[in-house]
Structure 1
C-alpha cells in the first residue's frame, strides 16, 4: 500500500526537492506552501512533514491544531530551527524533530519508523541484502540458502534496532543503551563482540561486511 505524505514547506527549492525525493521513494505527496489549507488534506495523509517558518500561522500552531484533531497522525518537524527550546516546543506535540541540513537517508529511515509505528505500513517482510526479515514472525532468512538464521536474544535485539534505524549512523552508546537498557561505559567492548558474532551469522563475508558498516570512532550503520 502506497503511503501518503502531507508536506508543508514554503521554500520552493527545498519543497520541490523534497517532494521529488519522497515520490522517488514510492510515496504519494501532497505539497502545501502554507499550513492554512492543511485541514482539508490531513485525513488523506498517513504522515505530516511540517516546517516551522511558514507564512501566516507558524508550524507550531498548525502542528498543535492538526495533532489535537488527528492525534493518530504522525508529525515530523523538519526545520532549520535547532535550539533546544525549539526542539522541546516541537516535540511537545510532534512525533519526531529533524533539523536542516539533514541526510536524505536518515530522513527516509525516520519516515519509515513513524509509518510503521502508526500502522500505515503493514508489510511485515523487509529485504536487507540477501536477508528476508519477517518482522511479524521474528524470523531472518538467508535467501541464498533459504534457511533461517538463528540469533541469540541480544543479537536479534541489536539487529532489529539497527533495522529500525536503517541507513542511519548510530553511536555505540545509543545501541548499547537501547539493547541493554543501562548506561554505556566508554571503552566497553561488549557491543563490539556481539556485532562481530552477529556479522558471522548474517554477512556473506564477515571480514568485508555489506549489511552492518562500522563507522570508525562513532558506531554502526545498517544498510538497506
Structure 2
C-alpha cells in the first residue's frame, strides 16, 4: 500500500529536497506551499508533515484545524522554533515535532514510527467477532450477512481509532481528543454516549458488549 503524505512547506529548496527524498522512499507526496488548500487534501492523506512558518495561516492554526477535520490522520510538525513553549504548543494537537535543521533519515524514521503507531501501512481488513472492518474503505461489514453496518461519521472515527490501537486500553480523554480534536473537559459524557449508540449497532448484545470492552475505572478496549 502506498502511503499518501500531505506535505505543507513554503521553502522551495527544503520542499523539493524533502519531496524527492520521501518519494524515493515510496511515499506519494502532495506538496503544498501554504495551508490554504490543506483542508481539501487532508481527507485523502495518511500522514501530514506541516511546517510552522507559513504564509497566511501559521502551521499551528492549520494543524489544529486539520486535526478537527481529520482527527485520525497523524501530523508531524517541522519548525526552526525549538523553544519548549513552541514544542508544547505543537504537541498540544500534533503527534510529533521535529526541529529544523534535520537529517532526512530522522524525518523518515519518525514517519515510520507514526505509521506503526497508527498501523497505517497495515490497513488491511480487521476481524473483530462478527465484524469485518475495512479501514481503507471506511466500512464495517457484518460477516454473518455480508451487509454493511451504517455508522455515523463520529461512530466510524471512534471504531477506527480503536482499530489503530488494538488491545490497548484507551481513556475517554484520549478518545475524545483524538476524534474531536479538542481538549477533554472533565465530566463530559460525549464519548460514553457515542460508544453506547455505537454498541447498539455493532454488538450482538449491547447490554453485554464483547467487541468494545469497558475497563472499569479506566476506559475502553477492543481486542484482536
Tell me the TM-score range normalised by the shorter chain: 0.5 to 0.7
* SS state at 1:101 partner: coil
Deviation at 1:87, TM superposition (A): 0.3
Question: Given the alignment of the two structures, is residue 39 of structure 1 paired with residue 39 of structure 2, yes or no?
Answer: yes
**1:117 Cα deviation after fit:** 1.4
Structure 2 distance, partners of 1:110, 1:31, is 19
Is residue 32–residue 38 contact of structure 2 (8 Å, CA) maintained in 1? Answer: yes
User: Is 2:49 the partner of 1:21?
Assistant: no
- 3-state SS of the aligned residue for 1:121? helix
Aligned-residue offset at 1:123? 8.4
Aligned to 2:71: 71
Q: Deviations over 1:26-47 (max 9, x none)?
A: 0000000000100111011100
Distance in 1, Cα, partners of 2:30 & 2:118: 19
Cα distance in 2 for partners of 1:123, 1:73 equals: 13
SS at match of 1:90: helix
Unaligned runs of 5+ in 1: 125-224
**Cα distance in structure 2, aligned partners of 1:122 and 1:89:** 30
TM-score by length of 2: 0.54
Please give the alpha-carbon distance, in whole angstroms, between the structure 2 residues aligned to 1:106 and 1:19. Answer: 15
1:76-95 to structure 2, matched below 5 A, reads 76-95=76-95
Q: State whether residues 48 and 75 of structure 2, in contact with CA within 8 Å, keep that contact through their aligned partners in structure 1.
A: yes
CA shift digits 1:177-222 (9 cap, x unpaired): xxxxxxxxxxxxxxxxxxxxxxxxxxxxxxxxxxxxxxxxxxxxxx
String of CA shifts for 1:72-118, please: whole Å, max 9, x gaps: 10000011111111000000000000001112111111001101211
The alignment partner of 1:10 has SS state of coil
Tell me what 2:30 maps to: 30
Give the 5 Å matches for 1:1-224.
1-122=1-122
Distance, in Å, in 2 between the alignment partners of 1:18 and 1:11 is: 11
Counterpart CA distance in 1 for 2:31 and 2:9 is 7
Matched-pair contact (CA < 8 Å) for 2:18–2:104: no
Matched residues in 2 for 1:41 and 1:49: separation?
A: 13
Question: Which residue in 1 is equivalent to 2:200?
Answer: none
Q: Deviations over 1:121-167 (max 9, x none)?
A: 1189xxxxxxxxxxxxxxxxxxxxxxxxxxxxxxxxxxxxxxxxxxx
Distance, in Å, in 2 between the alignment partners of 1:112 and 1:122 is 12
CA distance in 1, matches of 2:110, 2:71: 19
Distance 2:45 2:116 in 1: 14
Indicate the SS of the match to 2:120: coil
TM-score by length of 1: 0.54
Q: Which consecutive residues of structure 2, in runs of 5 or more, have no partner in the other structure?
A: 125-224
**Size of the alignment, in residue pairs?**
124
